Amino acid sequence: MYKEVYTIKIKILNKIEINKKFSILFLLIIVFSILWSIGAVSAEIYIGNGDITISNSDADAYTDLSVKSTTKAKIYSLESKKKIPSKYKKYENYTFKVAKGTKIYYKAIVNPSDSSVTNITGLKLKKSTVSFGDKTRKISNKWISHKYKKSGWYLIKVNLNATFTKGYLFGMDLPGNIINGTKIYLVYVENNPQLSITKVTSGYNTYQNYKKKKY
């Protein structure tokens, strides 16, 4: 009888120990989940060491490219998006045209974005790379020039890292980093650009005026 009671007590104690282990494990999972939800909006926006980190696809929204020329009629919009090859259709909202052999200036820029991190101030570009799709790649935070030697379609890839002095996330104002932001633009290089030109976009009303440099 005593042996039977003793055996029952051991079984009960073992069950209690097992239940304790499962309870502790369950609590740890809950605590970890809470901490993760507090510390991260996604795998690419999170708080660590007192800083906000925005990386990869979330950082893409902060990435942009500025393009300019020193003279008129060097940067154009396409006459029609229907001319864009099907494999490039996803870039149709980031498309422009330049003339072959003309020097165009490019600069990677970091812009505020509507995301989970709000009220970002003090944005500063740390490092940027522009790849022009013709085996030319330049690293610079300043304006860089480039000439295309051959006509055709090219993808311009912009990649950057940046910092900011303050951003608002989870009720806290914290400094942060933007890491590996990327955006791709499509450029068509043409021998003799002829577009639906307006004075606003280029200064020329017709292709004849473009050739004569009259407007």
Domain residue limits, the chain: 2-40, 44-212
More confident site: 43 or 9: 43
Distance of CA 33 to the CA centre of its chain: 28
Cβ(183)–Cβ(94) below 8 Å = yes
Q: What is the dihedral of CA 89, 94, 100, 105, to 10 degrees?
A: -160
pTM > 0.75: no
What's residue 20's pLDDT? 53
Confidence check: pLDDT of 212 > 90: no
CATH no., domain 44-212: 2.60.40.10
Taking all residues of the chain, what is their mean pLDDT, rounded to a whole number?
78
Cβ(60)–Cβ(159) below 8 Å = no
Confidence check: pLDDT of 55 > 90: yes
Confidence check: pLDDT of 41 > 60: no
Distance of CA 154 to the CA centre of its chain: 19
Rounded Cα distance between 110 and 112, Å, is 7
Dihedral class, residue 101 (left if φ above 0, else alpha if ψ from -120 to 50, else beta): left
Mean pLDDT confidence for 142-147:
94
A 10 A CB-CB count for 99 gives 20
Rounded Cα distance between 104 and 193, Å, is 14
Coil/strand/helix, residue 85: coil
Closest by alpha carbon to 112, among 161, 61, 65, 157?
A: 61
